[in-house]
Structures are given as C-alpha cells and as structure tokens.
Amino acid sequence: MQHTKIGFIGGGNMAASLIGGLIADGTSPSQIRVADPDAKCTQALKQQFGIQIAADNSVLVENSDVVVLAVKPQILHKVCQQISGQVQSKHPLLISVAAGIRIGDIDRWLGDGNAIVRTMPNTPALVQCGATALYGNNSVTDTQHEIAERIMRAVGLTQWLENEPMMDAVTALSGSGPAYFFLIIEALEQAGCKLGLSEESSRVLALQTAFGAAKMALESSESSEELRHRVTSPGGTTERAIGILEQGDLRGLFERALTGARDRAQEMAEQLGGE
C-alpha cells in the first residue's frame, strides 16, 4: 500500500470517510485522487485532506492502481461506460461500494476480465465504526485482496463472504441494520417518556444503553444469548420485559423484516443490472 495510487470516483460521504480513514491509517494524501462532477465537493476534499483532484473519471483511472467506485447505484452503468477504455488499458483493481450492483454486471459494463471487489459498507462507516462485507471475483489477486481489505478496514470491521449471493443477506442485516437499531432506540425513548422521563433523559439513557450493550457484546467471548441470560434475573424486571417482547414474536418479526429486505435487494440487483 505504500506506493499504491488510489482513485475515488465520487466524492460523497462514503468516499470522504474512506479517505479520512486511510490517511489516519498512514496512507499519504499524495497517493489519493478523487473525481466528481461537483467541483465544490472535490475542492472541499482537497482542502480537508490534501489529496489530489482528477480532471475527470478517465484521467483518474489512468493514474490509479485502485479505483473505488463510490457513486450511486443508479449511475454506475453510465460511469462504467465512460471509463471502460481506460480500465481495459490500465487494469486497476476496482472496488465497488454501490449497493445492489453485482460483479458480473460491472464486469460486463467495463468489458470483462476485470479484478473487482464488491463491498457492502453501512452508514456507521461515516464515523469509522462500519461493518463491511466484501466479495471478490476470480481475477482478484492475493495482493489485491489484501489492499481491498485494508481500504475498507479504514472505516471499521471487514468480513469476506464465501459467495456473492450472500451479499443480499448482508444488505438486509448490516446494510439496513442501523435503521433497525435507530428504530429500537426511538421506541425506547418514546416508552421512557410515557413512563415519566424527560425527553432528554430518555434519549441519553437509551443511547448510552445501546452503546454499552454493543460494546459489551463486541468485547465479550460469550454469545448474545449468554449475555442476555446474565442480565435477566429470574422473577425480575428484565425477565418480565423480555417475556412481553417474546410474546409479541419479536424474533419472527425481525426474520420477516430481514427476509423482505433481502428479497428487495435481489429485485434491485435485477433491475439495476439489466441495463
């Protein structure tokens, strides 16, 4: 990675987070370029991080060993058409953070035979606490595998998948997952207020409880089930609350929710990849 030139097509929030994480991890700003049609966006990134700006996407590819496709899924096809000639000439490693676009479609748009790693980061990557799943095609070398992992690890945890179809399940679990937890926090806040707590107290207590529970789970070797049993005393308040949640089929509700999200991810992949 010391001399690897990394180019970002798209200068939005995810690109900014990755750039910031890479620089904090020791990557020199001189190794990083960004291209985006919004000049204010690229200038802001240059000012903040000291990176270089590429005149356009084609110039960026010509000067990059790794190209991160950090654009919205709806415009990725157009971007790939713009850079296909340069990609076929330069043969960079391509890392896609565009949700729902399959590797086969990206490869077809670019001209086939490309080293592509598809990733599914989630929004906590914006605060370097993301969870990112990765899957690479057979053209990705061991060295490129390590490079892709290091880039995505700059914004949090990484997890390689055994096959690409698993990415739809990842989208349902961790990709959409932050919204589920925000909903739970929101529900806890509202319930606390109805029990007489102030809005501020209810919010702070719900947020810190969520943070503390996640930290305990991450740092413990015990399963989530074991941790739950540890804080659920027989005949106590927690047992009463958990019993009510179980009676409401909370597990079944989450299973149906994630299945619906998985199915929608598959539908979107078909729609976006059919161009």
Whether the predicted pLDDT of 2 surpasses 90: no
Whether the predicted pLDDT of 198 surpasses 70: yes
Instruction: Give this prediction's pTM.
Output: 0.91
Whether the predicted pLDDT of 3 surpasses 90: no
* Beta-sheet strands, E only, within 74-204: 93-96, 116-120, 130-136, 156-160
Q: Which residue has the tokens 């679990």?
A: 173
What digits encode the pLDDT tens for the residues 141-173? 999 999 999 999 999 999 999 999 999 999 999
Note the pLDDT of residue 212.
97
CA distance 253 to 129: 26
Whether the predicted pLDDT of 1 surpasses 80: no
How many other β-carbons are positioned within 10 Å of the β-carbon of residue 251?
A: 10
Single out the residue of 47, 44, 27 nearest to residue 36, CA to CA: 44
Mean pLDDT of 183-197: 98
CA distance 178 to 186: 12
What digits encode the pLDDT tens for the residues 19-54? 999 999 999 999 999 999 999 999 999 999 999 999
Note the pLDDT of residue 273.
83
115 alpha-carbon distance from chain centroid? 20
Structure tokens at 147: 């490079």
CA atoms 142, 175, 10, 46: torsion sign: negative
Note the pLDDT of residue 127.
92
Task: Answer whether 42's CB lies under 8 Å from 34's CB.
Answer: yes
Average pLDDT, the chain: 95
Amino acid letter at 71? Answer: V
Domains and CATH numbers, the chain: 6-162 (3.40.50.720), 175-268 (1.10.3730.10)
Whether the predicted pLDDT of 275 surpasses 70: no
Note the pLDDT of residue 56.
94
